[in-house]
Structure 1
């Protein structure tokens, strides 16, 4: 058993869990962490996607009451049916565009320079979004969303295919700009993450199954475990945080971190290998 490899898997799991649901880009952090750890071959890229399932399990547990109530009421209650339909509608655009352009994006955009640049751009977008007028909020809770709201959020989620953008950042900030409250946008982003990330993980594992063997199982289990634990703490913290705070600190973090990556790469201080 390669203890060094398992240690790297644990670190990557923690990075995934802590960044997946914050508007700071888990993919971007995983690319950069993988570059520093030398954990960035083709198998590692499959690993990065697969361990998202651990983070999603944390969301399912945190939101289990709402998920269970929706499933129970689905055959009879219109509100539950509308909510489920909204999640499905928002999920479809990422599936279609992912199948069409996913390979090209991975080949050309999964680089530290792209990640750093989108970190900085995303940070300024968050600052702009947080300055909007509260009067523009028209949807306070996820159950008030229409199918058009869901479709718009789903289209915005597609921007997260560019590494460094942040899936949660795109859906939360995009939702807020579209008229959702901070709470509604955050809740819907979490619900939408369930089919999106589970689907991405399953598809990646199936597509790249030739790269994997039973010997890789301990590495994946370690990554899933640490992803789940760190995501569980992160989601619970974020839900408390947004009740009294804005996303502005995350914006400044993105900008500062992006500048550091660009500066260290330009100076040669750190070799941010893709």
Structure 2
């Protein structure tokens, strides 16, 4: 493993973690093209997740700070006998992030081994990319025709569970995490700003949880020939690509052009399926 390959994988991870095109599917394909051994990609993937996680903190630093501040205040009010009151936007947002994470975490723990086996199947990845594109197309068309769209004030706990379940589907390689959560949010009638913000904010515990679970396996495998320079290059590449991807997706959603990504995932998915059928 060299720095060049680490940078390429970091860029792929950063872009596809947040653009609705599936990071797992693209990483699996890129790993295959670069001929990166399975034992090296495991540890590097954990490191690349750190870069993408930092990119969310960078873009949504204000919201995350306010959510954490309100959580501390909420605990203090409870201890001092003032009760529990979710009386502002960031308290509710923090609560809904926790609620959405529950079904995602359960699905990850229960089906992790089953869906992990799909990473070796290029055909499954191809079909999953086609499904991702179809969901993006359908969700945006449904959303455009909605007259009333929800903000945080109108959001309910079952909306969070619905989006969390959709995020859980992303353990399938080829199914986009950001795409799934945005699709779930749009189907629940969230406005564009809320759908985007909630999708990225619930990625924090999801990415963090996945990183913790993968770290155990990665430490068992070890660093191998991965040097500090290689790891650092991968982190920086995934961070910068992640920031770019988040801001790009925000603009696409604002302009109601999310379905553009459908053409990409359909094309890549069909190519992967055809190549693997004829080869």
TM-score by length of 2: 0.87
CA distance in 1, matches of 2:225, 2:122: 30
Pairwise CA RMSD: 2.0
The answer to which of 44-53 and 220-229 deviates more is 44-53
Aligned to 2:252: 241
The answer to which of 155-164 and 39-48 deviates more is 39-48
Q: Does 1:157 align with 2:167?
A: yes
Q: 1:71-128: per-residue Cα shift (whole Å, max 9, x none)?
A: 2233156223321111011111121121122012112454211110111122122222
Runs of 4+ in 1 over 4 A off after TM superposition: none
Kept after mapping to 2: 8 A contact 1:137/1:176: no
Which secondary structure does the structure 2 equivalent of 1:232 belong to? helix
CA distance in 1, matches of 2:150, 2:264: 27
Q: Does 1:32 align with 2:43?
A: no
Aligned to 2:186: 176
CA distance in 2, matches of 1:264, 1:214: 32
The equivalent position to 1:201 in structure 2, one of 208, 211, 216, is 211
CA distance in 2, matches of 1:12, 1:255: 22
Q: 1:119-171: per-residue Cα shift (whole Å, max 9, x none)?
A: 11221222222221545364443454221111111011111111101001110
Q: 1:24-64: per-residue Cα shift (whole Å, max 9, x none)?
A: 10111101111101114133134224412211211111111
Which secondary structure does the structure 1 equivalent of 2:18 belong to? coil
CA distance in 2, matches of 1:201, 1:142: 28
CA distance in 2, matches of 1:170, 1:35: 25
Aligned to 1:266: 277
Aligned to 1:53: 50
144 and 60 in structure 1: CA distance in 2 versus 1, 3 angstrom threshold:
farther
Which secondary structure does the structure 2 equivalent of 1:176 belong to? helix
Aligned to 2:60: 63
Kept after mapping to 2: 8 A contact 1:17/1:228: yes
Q: 1:46-195 to 2 correspondence within 5 Å? A: 46-74=43-71, 75-76=73-74, 78=86, 79=88, 80-132=90-142, 134=144, 136=146, 138-142=148-152, 144-195=154-205
In structure 1, the gaps of 5 or more residues are 269-274
The answer to which of 30-39 and 131-140 deviates more is 131-140
1:265: Cα distance to partner?
2.6
CA distance in 1, matches of 2:36, 2:152: 38
Aligned to 2:239: 228
The equivalent position to 2:266 in structure 1, one of 234, 255, 259, is 255
Instruction: Report how many aligned residue pairs link the two structures.
Output: 265
Kept after mapping to 2: 8 A contact 1:93/1:158: yes
Kept after mapping to 2: 8 A contact 1:139/1:184: no
CA distance in 2, matches of 1:240, 1:104: 35
CA distance in 2, matches of 1:257, 1:49: 25
The answer to which of 125-134 and 253-262 deviates more is 125-134
Kept after mapping to 1: 8 A contact 2:143/2:187: no
Kept after mapping to 2: 8 A contact 1:50/1:205: no
133 and 35 in structure 1: CA distance in 2 versus 1, 3 angstrom threshold:
closer
TM-score by length of 1: 0.89
